[in-house]
């Protein structure tokens, strides 16, 4: 049993860089399109039902929520992108904010980017990957809601994503994930252990 994340607790919510907790320790942030399953993934990883609020209404997570895994170890739930009416480009504010966060947050050791397995690597996702590359932040992609596809279709989607990442010069790693079934849970937890330099209990 991988219990390191079980005691994770909500620390604070911020709406700006200034409102964030002190920039010390190590943190991993979860980003992705609105409704991609960021909050659900966090809850599953932490073995808690309602640590992060999930919703059928896109755009539920409006603030940057910090969760403390252990002393100086944090997981961060970022607001989703792609639900506002603003056409083209990352919504300007979100893009400007995330750009600053990626560039300046010293505690940030890696980004988990979530994409619905049925609709991966949209142009907004690519803009996020570009920002991460510019800021030299490592990226791991979760193809979420893998329970919506058969196992073979999921693996085919993962292969196709990896091919596209390589063709476009992105160095991100990727895996399938399902918050409902727990598919891929250990794989992402092991990666988080490494990024956070945390010891599993
Ligand atoms: N079938 C299935 N549904 C999922 C999974 N993960 C999330 N969902 C559903 O997808 C919807 C959105 O999930 P959230 O976790 O709230 O998504 P989010 O990315 O945090 O959304 P925002 O906070 O609005 O950006 C909810 O209805 C979830 O129940 C999954 O692994 N499988
Ligand atoms: Mg959310």
| DSSP string across 19-55 | TSPPS-SEEEEEEEBTTSSHHHHHHHHTT-SSSS---
If you search the block for the tokens 């992108």, which residue do you land on? 81
What are the residue ranges spanned by the domains of the chain? 9-196
Which residue among 54, 124, 125 is best mutated to probe the pocket of ligand 1, counting the most ligand atoms within 8 A of its Cβ?
A: 54
- The class that CATH gives domain 9-196 is alpha beta
Find the residues whose C-beta lies inside 6 A of ligand 1: 32, 34-40, 54-56, 58-61, 80, 144-145, 147-148, 178-180
Atom of ligand 1 nearest to the CA of 61: 23
> Structure pTM?
0.93
For 183, phi and psi rounded to 5 degrees? -60, 130
Ligand 1 centroid to Cα of residue 87, in Å, is 23
Nearest Cα neighbor of 67 from 128, 20, 113, 134 is 20
Give per-residue pLDDT as tens, 79-123: 888 765 545 555 677 778 888 999 999 999 999 999 999 999 999
User: Which class for 61: exposed (0-12), middle (13-18), buried (19 or more C-beta within 10 A)?
Assistant: buried
Write down the mean pLDDT value for the chain.
90
Q: What pLDDT does 181 receive?
A: 97
Q: Which ligand is nearest the CA of 55, by number?
A: 1
If you search the block for the tokens 């002190």, which residue do you land on? 22
Nearest Cα neighbor of 11 from 60, 59, 72 is 72
What does the alpha-carbon distance between residue 149 and residue 130 come to, in Å, rounded to a whole number? Answer: 28
């Amino acid at each position: 049993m991988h219990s390191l994340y079980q005691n994770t607790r909500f620390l604070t919510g911020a709406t700006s860089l200034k409102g964030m907790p002190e920039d010390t320790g190590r943190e991993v942030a979860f980003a992705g399109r609105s409704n991609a399953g960021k909050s659900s993934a966090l809850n599953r990883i932490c073995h808690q039902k309602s640590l992060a609020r999930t919703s059928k209404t896109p755009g539920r997570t409006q603030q940057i929520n910090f969760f403390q895994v252990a002393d100086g170890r944090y997981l961060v739930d970022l607001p989703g992108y792609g639900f506002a009416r603003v056409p083209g480009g990352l919504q300007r504010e979100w893009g400007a904010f995330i750009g600053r966060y990626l560039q300046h947050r010293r505690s940030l050791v890696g980004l988990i980017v979530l994409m619905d397995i049925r609709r991966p690597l949209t142009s907004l996702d690519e803009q996020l990957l570009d920002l991460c590359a510019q800021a030299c932040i490592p990226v791991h992609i979760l193809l979420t809601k893998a329970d919506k596809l058969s196992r073979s279709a999921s693996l085919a989607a993962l292969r196709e994503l990896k091919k596209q990442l390589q063709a476009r010069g992105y160095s991100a790693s990727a895996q399938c994930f399902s918050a409902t079934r727990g598919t891929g849970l250990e794989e992402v937890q092991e990666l988080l252990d490494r990024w956070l330099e945390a010891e599993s209990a």
